[in-house]
């Protein structure tokens, strides 16, 4: 059973879905029960008797994290979110607050005085991010800056930031991915300049709160076609509990002035989007068409060819890119990889953040905000390449050379920036002098 492309759409009979697609769909759902190993004794020493605050506490991963936290005996757990009366684990103190309200957030942090903050609050829908860029940027970028400032003002001992696997792209015009990538840089800069010990984790597709599965089920119940990006689209998946455990692993980062990035090492085989769609048809027992419609804004069809270095592929999490891989090693517990270090922001980049905040506050015009944000994104890529190991830059340009005639304009511009930096690198002989 395959997906249709254009023309007349014939419904897919639930009884005709192949055993292979049914098995893949069940394997996908079973990921909800997957976990990773944790160094429990070390976590009890780090969390026991401490005050822990979680932003985005009412979300799927926030609730999973709060449930996991209680195993390690914190003295106090505090949740922050937008929901009125969320169902949270017992003994969780809850405050309704928008992280975009910096003064209120700082006042709360000063009252609570958390030892450890997990920052999960975000606008997480890539499609909505393209339609509501200002909402996404003010929440995911300026909101993260507010959390950092509030933590610093309250004397918080550590911040763990929830990012996305999409942030492994060196640059992207997709608003959601770039907003989370930018958040990583803010946390990294705060850590590297000694303002606040900070780490980040990258999540991929979380089965428990999957946007695409929810859409497929809704469309199926309504008798609407299930729309796919592509026939061969596939993606990695993880569970909400794995995500919470990944956050806890990152909380074991040394409390020093070095940024660390964590991702699950083994995410299993990627899931085919077509199998997910056909499995949903069989699950719902309703005949609907399955149609390939192409990639929507907010989703990337092909990755930049220099995203991964074959030297590390298979030995590291697929959520760690070729610039980060040389500095990656196993984290405590053994199921997570950790990439260390990132250069501090330049005065020009800090001015770019201030310009973005000013533009969001002053005009709120989507086009102007996007322009300022895009300029900042290219500046961050330039800064990342400048701070990378020369060997990594050279390897990336060698890897991408055969692909240049087939690159998108965006990927060509990324590649040109790598090549611009390569020209200024010292030769091997010069480096030895």
Averaged pLDDT, 138-155: 98
pLDDT of amino acid 231 = 84
pLDDT of amino acid 104 = 97
Encode pLDDT of 6-34 as tens digits.
555 789 999 999 999 999 999 999 999 99
**Are the beta carbons of 297 and 229 closer than 8 angstroms?**
no
Assign 3 a pLDDT band (cuts: 50, 70, 90). low
pLDDT of amino acid 242 = 98
Encode pLDDT of 215-231 as tens digits.
999 999 999 999 998 88
Q: Is the predicted pLDDT of residue 184 greater than 80, yes or no?
A: yes
Assign 300 a pLDDT band (cuts: 50, 70, 90). confident
Q: Say how far apart CA 296 and CA 211 lie, in whole Å.
A: 14
Q: Say how far apart CA 17 and CA 313 lie, in whole Å.
A: 33
pLDDT of amino acid 425 = 82
Q: Is the predicted pLDDT of residue 171 greater than 90, yes or no?
A: yes
Encode pLDDT of 29-68 as tens digits.
999 999 999 999 999 999 999 999 999 999 999 999 999 9
What integer best gives the mean pLDDT of the chain? 94
Averaged pLDDT, 142-154: 98
Tokens matching residue 419: 């090549």
Q: Is the predicted pLDDT of residue 177 greater than 60, yes or no?
A: yes
Q: Say how far apart CA 290 and CA 277 lie, in whole Å.
A: 7
The model's pTM:
0.95
pLDDT of amino acid 229 = 87
Delineate the domains of the chain, giving CATH numbers in brackets: 30-209+237-267+307-340 (3.40.50.720), 347-427 (no CATH)
Encode pLDDT of 86-110 as tens digits.
999 888 999 999 999 999 999 999 9
Averaged pLDDT, 291-316: 89
Encode pLDDT of 228-249 as tens digits.
988 889 999 999 999 999 999 9
Q: What is the 3-state secondary structure (H, E, C) of 388-420?
A: CCHHHHHHHHHHHHHHHHHCCHHHHHHHHHHHH
pLDDT of amino acid 432 = 45
The two beta strands, 290-292 and 226-228, are parallel
Q: Is the predicted pLDDT of residue 2 greater than 70, yes or no?
A: no
**Are the beta carbons of 380 and 224 closer than 8 angstroms?**
no
Q: Is the predicted pLDDT of residue 5 greater than 90, yes or no?
A: no
Q: Is the predicted pLDDT of residue 419 greater than 80, yes or no?
A: yes
Tokens matching residue 192: 């590297």
């Amino acid at each position: 059973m395959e997906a249709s492309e254009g023309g007349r759409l014939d419904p897919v009979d639930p009884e005709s879905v192949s055993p292979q697609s049914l098995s893949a769909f069940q394997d996908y759902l079973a990921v909800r029960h997957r976990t990773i190993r944790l160094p429990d004794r070390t976590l009890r020493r780090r969390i026991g008797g401490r005050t822990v605050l979680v932003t985005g506490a009412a979300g799927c991963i926030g609730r999973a994290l709060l449930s996991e936290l209680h195993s390690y005996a914190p003295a106090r757990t505090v949740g922050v979110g937008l929901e009125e009366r969320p169902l949270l684990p017992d003994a969780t103190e809850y405050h309704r607050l928008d992280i975009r309200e910096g003064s209120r957030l700082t006042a709360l942090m000063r009252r609570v005085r958390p030892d450890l903050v997990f920052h999960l609050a975000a606008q997480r829908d890539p499609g909505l991010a393209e339609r509501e860029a200002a909402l996404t940027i003010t929440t995911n970028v300026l909101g993260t800056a507010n959390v950092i400032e509030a933590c610093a003002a309250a004397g918080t001992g550590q911040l763990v930031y929830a990012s996305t696997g999409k942030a492994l792209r060196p640059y992207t015009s997709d608003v959601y991915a770039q907003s989370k990538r930018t958040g990583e840089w803010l946390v990294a800069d705060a850590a590297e300049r000694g303002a606040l010990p900070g780490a980040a984790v990258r999540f991929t597709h979380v089965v428990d709160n999957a946007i695409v599965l929810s859409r497929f089920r809704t469309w199926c119940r309504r008798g609407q076609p299930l729309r796919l990006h592509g026939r061969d689209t596939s993606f990695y998946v993880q569970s909400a509990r794995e995500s919470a455990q990944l956050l806890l692993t990152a909380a074991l980062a040394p409390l020093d002035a070095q940024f660390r990035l964590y991702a699950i090492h083994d995410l299993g085989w990627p899931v085919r989007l077509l199998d997910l769609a056909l499995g949903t048809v069989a699950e719902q027992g309703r005949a609907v068409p399955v149609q390939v419609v192409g990639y929507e804004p907010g989703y990337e069809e092909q990755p930049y060819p220099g995203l991964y270095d074959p030297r590390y592929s298979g030995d590291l999490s697929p959520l760690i890119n070729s610039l980060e891989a040389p500095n990656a090693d196993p984290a405590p517990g053994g199921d997570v990889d950790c990439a260390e270090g990132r250069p501090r922001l330049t005065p020009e980049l800090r001015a770019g953040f201030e310009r973005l905040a000013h533009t969001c506050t002053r005009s709120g015009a989507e086009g102007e905000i996007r322009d300022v944000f895009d300029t900042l994104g290219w500046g961050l890529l330039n800064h990342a390449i400048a701070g990378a190991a020369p060997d990594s830059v050279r390897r990336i340009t060698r890897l991408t050379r055969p692909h240049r005639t087939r690159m998108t304009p965006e990927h060509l511009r990324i590649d040109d920036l790598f090549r611009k930096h390569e020209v200024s690198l010292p030769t091997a002989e010069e480096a030895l002098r």
